[in-house]
Amino acid sequence: MSPKKNSGVTLRLLFADRGNFHEQTVTLPAGALDGHERLIDALRESPEVNRRLAVSLKRLVSAEIVEE
C-alpha cells in the first residue's frame, strides 16, 4: 500500500538499550522513503530522513511502517 500524495508515512521504531526496549513513533513526509527498497536503507541514507531525526542504528532493533 503506497502512501497518499502529500501525506506522511508513520514509522514505528523499536530500540534496545542495555536490555531495555523502547518504542518511538515518528512521521515523515511520504517522499522521504522514495528511491529506497528497504526501510533500513532510507533510515541510513536519506537526507530527508536524516534532517528530521537522528537514529541510533546500533540500537535499532525493528522498524516498520504503521498502516493507518
Task: Write down the pTM of the prediction.
Answer: 0.78
- What does the DSSP assignment read for 7-67? -EEEEEEEEEETTEEEEEEEEEEGGGGTT-SSHHHHHHH-HHHHHH----TTTEEEEEEPP
pLDDT tens readout for residues 9-34: 999 999 999 999 999 999 988 888 88
Domain-located, residue 3:
no
Domain-located, residue 2:
no
- Cell numbers placing 31: 517522499
**Residue 6 pLDDT:** 56
Domain-located, residue 17:
yes
Containing domain of residue 23, as a range? 10-65
Domain-located, residue 4:
no
Domain-located, residue 5:
no
Classify strands 60-65 and 8-17 as parallel, antiparallel or unpaired.
antiparallel
Rg (CA), the chain: 12
Name the domain count of the chain. Answer: 1
Domain-located, residue 14:
yes
